């Protein structure tokens, strides 16, 4: 309960904006990424490499000269932050995510 054990777990691996037809959503994502970069440049870099470049966790870790575990943790935090920032809620985030 202390760490959200009473909440439904949501597997969020990938934000799929390719299916999004609303141009304002793309602008909102760009604004959110710019804000994230100001708060934590490493998280923003992980998003850019994983999502936009399509790199695997291992490839991203090599490119950033860090461990795959760090990339996984940063990827998870960045996805959650973006979902929260874009106010799409956990249900929408869950449907917009797919395994990568």
In tens, the pLDDT along 31-45 reads 999 999 999 999 999
pLDDT in tens, 60-96: 999 999 999 999 999 999 999 998 888 755 455 544 4
pTM for the structure as a whole: 0.67
Distance set, CA 9 to CA 12, 20, 68, 94, 98 (Å):
9, 24, 22, 10, 14
The confidence band for 18, taking pLDDT boundaries of 50, 70 and 90, is: low
Inter-axis angle of helices 68-85 and 89-96, to 10 degrees?
Answer: 130
């Amino acid at each position: 309960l202390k760490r959200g054990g009473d909440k439904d777990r949501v597997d969020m691996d990938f934000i799929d904006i390719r299916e999004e037809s609303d141009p304002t959503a793309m602008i909102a994502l760009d604004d959110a990424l710019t804000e994230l970069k100001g708060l934590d440049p490493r998280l923003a870099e992980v998003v850019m490499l994983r999502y936009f470049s399509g790199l695997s966790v291992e490839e991203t870790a090599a490119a950033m000269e860090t461990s795959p575990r760090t990339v996984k943790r940063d990827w998870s935090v960045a996805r959650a932050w973006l979902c929260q920032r874009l106010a799409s809620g956990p249900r929408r985030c869950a449907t917009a995510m797919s395994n990568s």
